[in-house]
Structure 1
Amino acid sequence: MDLSARQCDNCHTSLQGDFCHQCGQEKKSYIRNVSGVVTEFFGEFSNWDTRVWRTLVPLWFRPGFLSRRYVQGHRVPYVPPLRLYLFTSIIAFLLFAQLMPESVGTVNIPKDNAQLAADGITAEQAESISGLLSGINEGVKKQGPTDNDLMFLSDDDKDIFYTKLDAITANPKLAINKFFSLAPQMMFGLLPLFALLLKLLYIRSERYYTEHLIVALHSHSFILQFSVLYLALQALAAVSWPWLVPPIEWLATATLIWIPTYLLLCQKFYYQQSWGKTLLKFWLTSSLYNILFMSAIVGLIILSILWS
């Protein structure tokens, strides 16, 4: 018997199974023919697909369940939180990019906030962004931002900003495309800040920061997915038969209502505090996060103009 067959290829420790108990490496060769690689790919894909459905159903309808299961050690049956968020973000923003209009004459405000909803934004945030974009639209038509609005930019950057602002006035689509291409990075950057807010508000719970980050990842994955659902329903209502429009619009409204309701229930069921404390901390979390979110939006709009 070939002894090397039962030794770890990395540290040469004698194996008791398929994995080395010393370094953790699997006894498996990744150098094989194409047919073997293809077979393994579809096998892994099928297994991952099963985990997806086990993950999505509780993610949509059982607030806080996945986060509790993960921190309790039940991880194998579900898609890991970070992978779930990254996969969701990629799909959501690809769909959003496909649904953007081909030509834009002015800075259009999304009808019923449908487009903003696809960006993982709640109804309240979408209203704020709509107002912000309206203000920018009016400012562009008049004279643009004043120097006081751009105090954090150097004189050279201000000149560049005003030059590009003139070009964007003629074709706002340039800045809008750049804005939504940068939005995923912005959302990903806000995740640890959201988790930090939860850590500060629930500091007496003695939970690790990572436990709050798990909640943030699951919450943002849910927001993105239901925002895409809302956008899809709005698009479906625009092309459906007249008799089908009312129930679709009702379902779209229910989707928007479920997003903040879900987030509230998630905090309640995950942290297991009284309704009074949960409502207060949910209000604080939402308020502080909205301030961070809108500040990031303003910065992203300026970067979109500078980089377009």
Structure 2
Amino acid sequence: MTNTDIQHTQLSSTDIGGDNKPSCSNCHSPLTGPFCAQCGQGTDSTIKYFWLVILHLLDDIFSFDSRASRTVWPLITRPGFLTNEYILGRRVHYVPPLRLYLFISIVFFITLKFFAASENNGVINIKSDETALVKVTNHIGELEQQRAVLLTSQPEESQAQIEELQRLNLALDKFNNYQTDLANQDDKILKAIAGELVALEFRQLKSGKPLIPKDQKQYTNLIKQITKVRNGEKVNLLSIGNSGDGTITLPFLSVQENEKLNGFASQLEKKASKALQSDTGPLLQQIISKLPQLMFVLLPLFAALLKIMYLFSKRFYMEHLTVALHSHSFVFFIIFLLEVIDMLQDQLPASLFWLDATFNMLATGLLIWIPIYLFIMQKRVYKQGYIITTIKYCMVGMAYTGLISITGMIAFIWGLTNL
């Protein structure tokens, strides 16, 4: 049979009996809609322009249609609404939970890498001990010049001059200590901590604003660590080990296996020390790149945790998985908004302090909304009393915090192994 005969046969399949009624190209049954009632094949041909195929593929994966607008707003403002609608079977108007999670998580982790890279580029990039030392030395010269100008321009001491001199003297003492730490060739950990502190110091100097809370917390912790190191106390970059000499000894492993484990831990500590001494950007990028896979594994574990907590609720596991998908989608979306707010704050000029304060209030409100939202969601979905819900909410929260901590440690170690 020739190609012309085949095409003629296919075309004639739509005219069985000569009545011009459409029929299925696969089983030749009469069609009464967009799908065949016998075999299920659709009437829409897959042979079409390539760009249309791509658009249909994107629509299948992400559901770029009016359902998105009807889904995102309830996801943020109506705890438990989408989950209850899906469980009750009212699904056609909303993006399915798995597609919603995939889309939001893809956007979240891509933008998270972008925000992390841009934040790392916004800091003076300390790629080596020598570079950090040069930056600190130059800044010390600038401080000494400012002090000399202040002393010569104002022969009569005033209260403002005294306060400015005190500030400059404190800054000089601090950066002189950094200079000494960075020039130390014997203590790698001291140099690593000093490098991190210098990066934060120059970030604050460049922005002209106080450090944001997370950076201030990191700064405080680093000051405590460097004080211990300067006093001769030992500080481990990786807080692992249960032996007095800092090695790992697990009783259920043989001597050879414990040796291999300690060798692996020693390699990780060397990589962590090297990463902290130079630029933490590559390590951060590696950690972020591992999180999507780990979070996707964490989802069914969280659903299993909910199943255990509500064991006698006679709910299917898929209902708990729906709760997990919607709650994670919500948290990712809120964190994405917080990252956007943080980026906008970094771009604000100092004169718009009122807008910066507004952004701070908005960010604080979003952070407070996360635990409140999750509690209300748990209450509305599982329909139990406030006391029982509070108890189970706290238990789930503590267990999930442990899971997240383990996930973060795995991502950190996994990221170090790829450096």
Which of 6, 12, 31 in structure 2 is aligned with 1:2? 12
- Equivalent in 309, 325, 328 of residue 217 of structure 1: 325
Find the counterpart in structure 2 of residue 244 from structure 1.
Answer: 355
Tell me: CA distance 1:300–1:150, structure 2 relative to 1, closer, same or farther (3 Å): farther
* Residue identity matched to 2:13: L
Whole-angstrom distance in 2 between the partners of 1:288 and 1:43: 36
Partner of 2:294: 186
C-alpha deviation, 1:304, in angstroms: 1.5
SS in 1 for 2:196: coil
Matched AA of 1:97:
K
Question: 2:93 aligns to what?
Answer: 77
2:404 is aligned to: 293
- Max radius of gyration: which structure? 2
Equivalent in the alignment of 1:123: none
Asked whether 1:54 is paired with 2:70, we answer yes
Aligned to 1:205: 313
Q: 2:213 matched to 1:112?
A: yes
State the shift of 1:301 in Å: 1.3
Q: CA 1:184–1:248 in 2, change beyond 3 Å: closer, same or farther? A: same
Provide the C-alpha distance between the structure 2 equivalents of 1:181 and 1:35, rounded to a whole number of angstroms. Answer: 30
Counterpart among 270, 274, 289 of residue 167 in structure 1: 274
**Structure 1 residues 154, 204: CA separation in 2 closer, same or farther (over 3 Å shift)?**
same
Shift, 1:157, TM fit: 2.4
Separation in 2, partners of 1:267, 1:239: 38
Shift in alpha-carbon separation, 1:150–1:215, aligned structure 2, 3 A: farther
CA deviations 1:146-196 (Å, max 9, x no partner) are: 554756863552353244234323233222221111122222221111111
Which position in structure 1 is the counterpart of 2:190? none
Cα distance 1:82–1:3, how it changes in 2: closer, same or farther (>3 A)?
same
Alpha carbons of 1:9 and 1:304: their partners in 2 closer, same or farther (altered >3 Å)?
same
**Relative to 1, partners in 2 of residues 1:258 and 1:12: Cα closer, same or farther, differing over 3 Å?**
same
CA distance in 1, matches of 2:27, 2:261: 56
Distance in structure 2 (CA, Å) of the matches to 1:42 and 1:304: 31
Partner Cα distance (2:399, 2:112) in 1:
27
TM-score between the two structures when normalised by the length of structure 2 = 0.61
8 Å Cα contact 2:13/2:28 also seen in 1: no
Partner SS state of residue 92, structure 2: coil
CA distance in structure 1 between the aligned counterparts of 2:263 and 2:248, rounded to whole angstroms: 12
Per-residue CA deviation, residues 50-74 of structure 1 (Å, 9 max, x unaligned), is: 1111001111111000001011111
* 1:82-123 residue CA offsets vs partner (Å, 9 max, x unmatched): 111111111112222112213465398994349xxxxxxxxx
8-17 vs 24-33, which moves further: 8-17
Query: Which residue identity does 2:291 align to in structure 1?
Result: A
Q: Is the 8 A contact 2:79 2:377 kept in 1?
A: yes
Cα shift at 1:47 = 7.4
SS at match of 1:30: coil
> Which of 182-191 and 76-85 deviates more?
182-191
Partner of residue 106, structure 2? 90
RMSD: 3.4
> Partner residue of 1:117?
none
Q: Which amino acid aligns with 1:204?
A: F
SS of residue matched to 2:289? helix
Letter of the aligned partner of 2:306 in structure 1? L
- SS in structure 2 of the partner of residue 63 of structure 1: coil
Q: TM-score, normalised by structure 1?
A: 0.81
Kindly tell me the number of residue pairs found equivalent between the two proteins: 292
CA distance in 2, matches of 1:219, 1:87: 14
CA-CA distance at 1:12 after TM superposition: 4.7
Match of 1:64 in 2: 80
Using the alignment, how far apart are the partners of 1:297 and 1:52 within structure 2?
31
